[in-house]
Structure 1
Amino acid sequence: MTDSFQKRLNFDGNIDEVIERAANNYSLGNLKHSELMTVGLQDYNLHIITNQGEYVIKVFSKLRNVENIRRYVEIIKAALNAGVHHPSMLKDMKGEFIHTDEPSGLSMIVLEYIRGKTFYDMDRAPNSKELKLIAAETVKINKIKFKPSYLFDSWAVPNIHWMYKQVNKFLDDEGKNLAKTALSWYEALPIKLLPTCFVQGDIIKTNVVLGENSQIYIIDFAVSNIYPRVQELAVMSSNLMDNKKAPLLRRVERVKQAYLAAGGELTEVELKSLYNYAVCAVAMEFMGSYHERYVIGETADEISYWMQLGRQGLKEGLGEK
């Protein structure tokens, strides 16, 4: 498992030595324990415990260049400045958030470790009280004025045609028919009339932490972009709120009501488009998992989870209206 994750770094050296140097450069104290965090795609995340506390070292993937890493850090800073509940970032001995380990060439940041569990870990959807808290964080996020440079996110709904071209040869007949139907639904959406804003873009079960203090934390802003506002709510409806029982139509309604109650705004066009956009988000979850498995070669356990969840959700979603 560790070896497959280490391939993300294009590094075959001793990762333990990198961790030791990171603990020293960020003045984290004496290292007592480190553990690979296996949930999440692309980067190499480590939970470490020292005599001073608990931290997360995020070692950036070989796929991220310097500009992309800086973009990531600027987005986290913007989110924290907006009051979003996100783990705080630590500075190294030079006063920088980003540290490059010279012997290995690996770049990283260090975050506080939040004691708690993601909804993926708990294998459930948020309850009404938790959804209320998540919606409040989502409204804060969507009001962020920071405009990051555009980053192509293969999982985002606006890239649905690109994704289909990438994975159609790996889909069975049922999968192709489901994907093509979702494409037709996307083409019918009034995309140019949908208001855009800053979106986290990935408020899914793996990226929402319920702390032991009952606080909600939104993590992983790697794919944040300026997108249609409904992108945020569609992803929440399709993934975060899936509990294997409630139909997508009901989940969309719950997310919409919680968002509005938290002070969010939605136009009439958005209200009419949200369900169809959410179905397209399910389609991206379905096709995106195939892309990770068969095009990129990702073997993380959660890929199988997304494949199954996406197919079933798409079959149900397309049949609800």
Structure 2
Amino acid sequence: MEYVNFYERIHNVKNLKLLAERICQHYNLGDLIGQKHIEVGYEDFNMEIETTTGKYFAKIFNKSRPQREQMRLAEILKKTVSNQVRTPKIYEVDGDTIFTVEIENVKLSIILMEYIDGENMLFLNRDFRREELRQVATEMAKIDSIDYKVEPYYDEWTITNFKNEYDKKISKCLKDDKDLITKVYAEWKKVDFSKFKKAYVHGDIIKSNLILDKDDLVWIIDFSVLNYLPRIIELAVSMFGLCMTDTREKTIDNFNIIIEEYDKHLKIDDYELEQLPNVFNSICAMNVLQTSFIKNTDETFEENEHWLTEGRRGINLKFTTKDIRMLN
């Protein structure tokens, strides 16, 4: 997929005003007041639309996404909302969740969602509060309890694909990152993934996929890579994506808040806890692999730099089972 050039994701369509007007007409949203591109994410093109009836969030699918992936995401969103997970609802017209429109002789596919009045948590520039982490863990457990019954999706960032991605990209990573990644990869190969309990997991619960609203409620967004995976991946991704701070003590405390709150809703077994540091390190290494590859072969961008830094920092944290309160 195209990572850096957001407009390339939608065939270089630049007339966002016309696109927003067509969305307003189709969904009967009233008159357009304004629209704004939201520069977050690695996959699609996101836009905020303001009209005389309120604000809305539009996701314009990446040109490389086939129709089956678009429909897959729409169904996931509907099922997530119906199971009372705190995520924006998806709008429909005559039972259709996807709107296809032609702009500048290019066909674009769009889903329109409820706008959450708040801020993307990637841009808060502060550590997560304990209550926010507990909220996220509770919503994660809800997601991981839903039987989505959707077809698999190949996610190049998930650690079950570590071997494939490592073989393809390690040679093109930055030199210092190669050593970090390779050491973790050697440990990853020792994990018996068949022993883990599986569930449909969001798989990408990180700062950029959370919104904090005006009432201090945390909303989870972007279910594009939801998959049937070892559920320990959900836990470890959230630890990597939400819990890192400038001090080891506070970071480890945050890890334990997520672990203990999740366990209140879905019991974590001993093998999952014992392997959690290895899984966490693997997720850090996978993030270094992907972001270092992008930086070394393409033009990097702010969010990419953030996750590259966090991945390196996570590996250097040297998280072990001794840090897990439930095991000690």
Q: Is the TM value for this pair above 0.5?
A: yes
Q: CA RMSD in A?
A: 2.0
Once the 2 structures are TM-superposed, how far is the Cα of residue 270 of structure 1 from its aligned partner? 0.8
Equivalences for residues 52-63 of structure 1 within 5 A: 52-63=53-64
Give the Cα separation in 1 of the matches to 2:219 and 2:289: 27
Partner of residue 220, structure 1: 222
- What is residue 126 of structure 1 aligned with on the other side? 128
The Cα offsets for residues 143-186 of structure 1, whole Å up to 9 and x where unpaired, read as: 00112111000000111122222322233443112111111111
| Identity, % of aligned positions | 28
1:249·1:320 contact (CA, 8 Å) conserved in 2? no
What is the CA-CA distance between 1:250 and the residue it aligns to?
A: 4.3
1:65 maps to which residue? 66
Q: Distance in 2 between matches of 1:30 and 1:299?
A: 37
User: Aligned with 1:4: secondary structure?
Assistant: coil
One-letter amino acid of the structure 1 residue matched with residue 5 of structure 2: S
Q: Aligned-pair distance for 1:317? A: 3.0
Task: Give the counterpart letter for 1:280 in structure 2.
Answer: S
TM-score by length of 1: 0.92
Deviations 1:105-152 (A, max 9, x none): 100010111011122110233211111111110110000011211100
CA distance in 2 between partners of 1:37 and 1:13 (Å): 14
Shift of residue 278 of structure 1? 0.7
Aligned to 1:50: 51
What is the one-letter code of the residue matched to 1:193?
K
Q: Equivalences for 1:1-321 in 2 at 5 Å? A: 4-12=5-13, 14-92=15-93, 94-103=94-103, 104-246=106-248, 249-261=252-264, 263-295=265-297, 297=298, 299-317=300-318
Unpaired stretches in structure 2, ≥5 consecutive residues: 323-328
Q: Are the structure 2 counterparts of residues 301 and 125 from structure 1 closer, same or farther at C-alpha, using a change threshold of 3 Å?
A: same
The number of aligned residues is 316
Preserved contact between residue 249 and residue 317 of structure 1 (Cα < 8 Å): no
Deviations 1:244-270 (Å, cap 9, x if unpaired)? 323665443232112113x12211111
Question: Does the Cα contact within 8 Å between 2:201 and 2:228 map onto a contact in 1?
Answer: yes
Question: Does the CA contact (< 8 Å) of 2:173 and 2:293 recur in 1?
Answer: no
Whether the 8 Å contact between 1:179 and 1:283 is mirrored in structure 2 is yes
1:249/1:275 contact within 8 Å kept: no
Equivalent pair of 2:274/2:321 in contact (CA under 8 Å): no
Q: CA deviation at 1:4?
A: 2.8
CA distance in 2, matches of 1:221, 1:160: 21
User: 1:16-66 CA distances to partner (integer Å, 9 max, x unpaired)?
Assistant: 212211111011110001111011121111111100000011110012110
CA distance in 2, matches of 1:147, 1:294: 37
